[in-house]
Every structure is written in C-alpha cells, then in structure tokens.
Structure 1
Amino acid sequence: MSTSTPASVGGRRPYGRSATRVFISYRTGDEPFGAALIDTALCARLGPDAVFRAPRSIPPGENFADAILGAVRESSVLLAVIGPRWLGATGRDGEPRLRNPGDWVRRELLAAFHSGTRVVPVLLHANLPQEHELPPPLARLGSNQYLRLHHRYAPADLARLVDEVEGLLGDGPE
C-alpha cells in the first residue's frame, strides 16, 4: 500500500489514507440529527477530511468494516453521541445491542479504547451511562468527561463542542 495521499474520490479520500482526526460514533436509531449537526460544525472548522461520519465518509464500494475500524484507529478523538435510546437499544433477539460483540457502536468504542483514541461522550437529551449499566468492556466510558448538545442551546453547545475538540487536537488558539 502506498503511503502517499491519494486524490479524493467523489470529494472524499478513501479510508485509512486521510487526515481523519475526529470520529463520530452514533446509533442510527438514536437522535441521529445530533451526529449530523456535529459533523457539519466540525467539517466547517476542521475540513471534511478531518472528520469521519460513516454515511459521508465511506465511498461507495469500500469495505464498511475496514473503513470504520481504520478510521477509529487513525483518529485522535472519538465522539460517542449518546441519546435517550443509546443504552437501551435492543437487537432483533431482544438483547441489549451493546452486549452483542457485533454491535457497531460497541466495536467502535472498543477499537478506540484499544488504540488509545480519546473517547468523549456527547449527550443528547440523555445522561451519561453509569459504569455498572455498561457491559464490562465498555464500563470505562461511564467515567469519561462528557459534553452536552441540547436543541435549545444548539448554537452555543456546538460552538463549545467544536472549540473543545479543536483544543484536544492542538489546533486551538494559543
């Protein structure tokens, strides 16, 4: 594999070869508007190649699993967008999705923990899950400092979130 940066594909660089620095993790059935708002705000400040959100960032024909896990590993920050249905989401079998090893939110979080990516919960009309509410491999998420995004304060909350993330990346004002 070449280490040079390839040309963009449809305005997007193929996964694993971009300057991705922020990964947005969210559950599709749980307030996905929040992930889209966060993506838009971060892209406006950092540029679209620096922010990974699967629907926008994975080109057609790319391997989904490789793209997701590669982007998590190359990111400095993973934003875990948590809404009111995030913790209680169940699969077709009625079991909690976070307890399923194949659940993508779980896989993204575990990949971030294993690769040393900073995990920042972003709460959308939800409370931070407590450690005892999470499966043991994810329990540490319950002690991470979080940010909030509330619809009533969205402009201010988004501005703070972008400033905080930029500061974590070392791109903030000196």
Structure 2
Amino acid sequence: MSTDTPASVGRRQPGGRPSTRIFISYRTGDEPFGAALIDTALSARFGPEAVFRAPRSIRPGEDFAHAILTAVEQSSVLLAVIGPRWLDAAGVHGRPRLHSPADWVRREILHAFHNRVRVVPVLLHANLPKEHELPPVIAQLSSHQYLRLHHRYAPADLERLVDEVDELLGGLPE
C-alpha cells in the first residue's frame, strides 16, 4: 500500500523528485487545448511539479528524449489524450505517425506499458481506437477504460478526471 495520500502527491522525496507524477501524453496538432486544460486542472489539485507536460516541464537545454522517458518512468499514471487526428496524423511519408517506432506518442505509451505505469485514455471528440487500428506493440490500449472530455461539459468532465486521477493515485503502490 502506498504511503502517499492525495494530499502528499507531488511532495519531494529525498533526491528532489516528486513522489507521484502524472504524465500527459498528447499529439501536437490534435486538440492540444485539451492537454493544456488537463494540465491546468491537475496542477491546481496536485501542484505543477507533480504533473508532466513536455512544453511546460522540460527546461531549455535539457535532453528531450531523456526528460520524456524519465518522466514516464517516474509516473504513476499516463493520460493518453486522444483527439480526432491522434490515430491518423501522418508523418513525412504519408503513413500514420503512430506506426513509426520513432513516434513520441507511441514511445511514451509503450514505455509506460513496459514500466507498469497505468495508462488512461482521455478522449477529446474521438472514440477509443480499436485494437486492429493500433500498432501491435500498443494495441492493448484499446482495452483500457477511458475518460471523456467534451467542450460542452468541460468543467464537469475536468472535475471527474481530476477526481478519478486523485483516486487512482491514492490506491497505487509507490
């Protein structure tokens, strides 16, 4: 059982890192407002140091890849923010980026699975991708229970999301 309570989430451990982290994974250009809203709501509850969102959390001059992968490893929950263009966003060769091993969204989710970090899809005007639509290495995402965030119900949806994450953090082992 975790010694962290929701009130202690984000407090520093010896070594200076927060005791519990929430990683927000999203695709640039696919409803990025949702990731920013989620970040704001979670930071208000847990403190900004407990919530990782790359543009806010990675300092100038830091190694991007190292910062991302380390933050995933240190997280208890990864929120995979999925909008209408998340699945089909094309790379340089016209193929969906998600099918490239170099795609950061794919790498973040795969790294979370490998490190036993809970992955929660958050749907923004999108449906949960089906197993056959996903690369095999992250196909298990299609069976994860999701949350929705809709612009019409944003205050209530955000409150539910924050409450659900709060509950998850209270019940997860260190």
TM-score, normalising length: structure 1: 0.88
Distance 1:63 1:20, change over 3 A: farther
> Is 1:27–2:27 an aligned residue pair?
yes
Match of 2:147 in 1: 147
Q: Could you tell me how far 1:48 is from its partner in structure 2?
A: 0.4
Q: Could you tell me how far 1:164 is from its partner in structure 2?
A: 0.1
Indicate conservation of the 8 Å contact 1:73/1:112, yes or no: yes
For residues 102-157 of structure 1, the C-alpha deviation after alignment (integer angstroms, 9 at most, x for no partner) is 00000000000000000000000000001111010010000000000000000000
Q: Could you tell me how far 1:20 is from its partner in structure 2?
A: 4.8
CA RMSD of aligned residues (A): 1.1
For residues 65-111 of structure 1, the C-alpha deviation after alignment (integer angstroms, 9 at most, x for no partner) is 00000000010000000000000111011011011010000000000
Match of 2:110 in 1: 110
Paired with 2:32 and 2:15, the residues of 1 have a C-alpha distance of 34
Paired with 2:107 and 2:100, the residues of 1 have a C-alpha distance of 9
Letter paired with 1:77: V
> Is 1:4–2:15 an aligned residue pair?
yes
> Is 1:133–2:133 an aligned residue pair?
yes
Name the count of aligned residue pairs.
158
Higher relative contact order (CA 8 A, sep 6+): 2
Percent sequence identity over aligned pairs? 76
Paired with 2:167 and 2:48, the residues of 1 have a C-alpha distance of 18
Match of 2:96 in 1: 96
Unaligned 5+ segments in structure 1 are 6-16
Q: Could you tell me how far 1:166 is from its partner in structure 2?
A: 0.5
Unaligned 5+ segments in structure 2 are 1-13
Match of 1:36 in 2: 36
Q: Could you tell me how far 1:19 is from its partner in structure 2?
A: 3.9
Indicate conservation of the 8 Å contact 1:20/1:52, yes or no: no
3-state SS, counterpart of residue 120 of structure 2:
strand
Indicate conservation of the 8 Å contact 1:20/1:71, yes or no: no
